[in-house]
Amino acid sequence: MESTITWTLGSTDPDTETNLTRIAQWWAALASQEIIWQQRPLPENMDRSAIDWAKQALDETFTIHTPTLRGITLYWYKPNSPDERNITVGHIQLDLHNQQLDILPSSGKNYQLRITLPKIVYQKIQVADPQFGSLIQPDGKAMLLFRDEKQRLEIQIDLSATNVALLQKKLSSSP
């Protein structure tokens, strides 16, 4: 599974809808979690990699409430605020490894937002009763393959010989 998911308004990429759905799921999963909210001006040369994301005085850390994506607009509530906030996006990039979302607004304004989880969070994938197969190699290593047709998801797990033996032991001792 790729570590970076990108969506851009008007893109003809065939994965556009899937990418937006995955970003929406990540965004919704932030509910009641502490996030770091940063906003930076875009450099004149528009090189977003040149943005300094080091902590600054105006950066906010807060617990986000009711984050949702409706259409191409992100919605959320801040603590102790009755007003729902929103931003319509033109480009979103989700970095799953670093648990951060970079947002360029569709308004054309010259700034970028970054929302980051300040703690390590593991991505969870749940599949119910998937198709599966395995291949054990002569050296004892194994490859497990799980497919979920409904989600169009394929998961490959490569195990060392040691982990194959451990998995077999755990499975045989299960009730």
CATH of the domain at 87: 2.70.180
Residue 82 located in a structural domain = yes
Residue 5 has a pLDDT of 95
Q: Give the pLDDT confidence of 72-89 residue by residue, as tens digits.
A: 999 999 999 999 999 999
CA dist 134 and 154 (Å) reads: 13
Q: List the beta strands (DSSP E) in the chain.
A: 4-8, 34-41, 60-63, 65-70, 73-77, 85-95, 100-105, 111-116, 131-136, 142-148, 153-159
| Residue 2 CA, distance from chain mean position | 10
Q: How far is CA 91 from CA 71, 144, 145, 173, in A?
A: 13, 36, 33, 49
Tell me: do 149 and 83 sit in the same domain.
Answer: no
Residue 124 located in a structural domain = no
Tell me: do 111 and 139 sit in the same domain.
Answer: no
Residue 93 has a pLDDT of 96
Residue 30 located in a structural domain = yes
CA dist 128 and 117 (Å) reads: 28
Is the Cβ–Cβ distance between 74 and 86 less than 8 Å?
yes
Tell me: do 13 and 80 sit in the same domain.
Answer: yes
| Residue 124 CA, distance from chain mean position | 10
**Count of structural domains, the chain:** 2
Residue 125 located in a structural domain = no
**How confident is the model over 52-62, as a mean pLDDT?**
91
Tell me: do 25 and 102 sit in the same domain.
Answer: yes
Tell me: do 67 and 142 sit in the same domain.
Answer: no
Residue 40 has a pLDDT of 92
The residues that bridge with 38 in the sheet, in sequence order, are 114
Tell me: do 100 and 139 sit in the same domain.
Answer: no
Residue 2 has a pLDDT of 65
Tell me: do 11 and 58 sit in the same domain.
Answer: yes
Q: Give the pLDDT confidence of 8-42 residue by residue, as tens digits.
A: 999 999 999 999 999 999 999 999 999 999 999 88
Q: Is it the case that residue 3 has pLDDT exceeding 70?
A: yes
- The pTM for the full model equals 0.68
> What domain range includes position 158?
131-172
Residue 123 located in a structural domain = no
Residue 161 located in a structural domain = yes
Tell me: do 145 and 63 sit in the same domain.
Answer: no
Q: Give the pLDDT confidence of 89-145 residue by residue, as tens digits.
A: 999 999 998 899 999 999 877 889 999 998 766 667 888 889 999 998 899 899 999
Residue 45 located in a structural domain = yes
Tell me: do 38 and 84 sit in the same domain.
Answer: yes
**How confident is the model over 55-76, as a mean pLDDT?**
95
Q: Give the pLDDT confidence of 39-53 residue by residue, as tens digits.
A: 998 877 667 777 888
